[in-house]
Amino acid sequence: MKLREIVVEKAIVPRLVAVQRDEVIGEMLDVLIAAGTVEPSLRDEFIKAVIKREKRGSTGVGQGVAIPHVKSERIARLSVAVGVSANGVEFSALDRQPVHLVFLVLSPENRPEEHLDAMQVIFSTLGQPQFRRFLRQATTVQEIVTLLEEADASHFVR
């Protein structure tokens, strides 16, 4: 699985406006809705589901990264939104540091292997300090797309 296969280009936000965790989740869902990936009528349901998941344990994995996610039978296709916060967002991360990079993952409930594959490729890519640094410096959607493509190419070579 490659990042470019799952990240919705129209759901890349190089400069998140929101400054609170729940607002960031809403902003990222809004771009998935605008991209046609999520039905507008499901917005509140998905926000509640993602926040409920956060309350069970933060998806702020440390090193400035959060990967909020939800599985639902109402999701037809795995979709990922990417957001970058210049100032950082409090996500109750494991290392207690602000989160600058957010990957929101929406997965169909009936395809758990696909969800695990997506989480693995996201974790392994965000585990690279150089990728995180370049992603934080990106200011346009195209710069982020290029970084995702480069990350996919390096995974392919391995």
The pLDDT confidence band at residue 155, using thresholds 50, 70 and 90, is low
- Which pLDDT score is estimated for 57? 80
Give the pLDDT mean for 133-152.
95
- Which pLDDT score is estimated for 93? 85
Domain 3-152 belongs to what architecture? 3-Layer(aba) Sandwich (3.40)
**CA-to-CA distance for 75 and 158, rounded, in angstroms?**
31
Q: Which two tokens stand for residue 123?
A: 């974790």
State yes or no: is 69 an active-site residue: yes
State phi, psi for 74 to the nearest 5 degrees. -90, 5
State phi, psi for 89 to the nearest 5 degrees. -130, 140
Evaluate if residue 59 carries a pLDDT over 90.
no
Evaluate if residue 56 carries a pLDDT over 60.
yes
The pLDDT confidence band at residue 158, using thresholds 50, 70 and 90, is very low
Give the pLDDT mean for 19-28.
95
Of 69, 100, 115, 155, the catalytic one is 69
**CA-to-CA distance for 123 and 129, rounded, in angstroms?**
12
Domain residue limits, the chain: 3-152
Task: Give this prediction's pTM.
Answer: 0.93
User: Are 81 and 32 contacting, i.e. CB atoms less than 8 angstroms apart?
Assistant: yes
Evaluate if residue 113 carries a pLDDT over 60.
yes
Cβ neighbours of residue 116 closer than 8 Å, sequence gap 6 or more: none
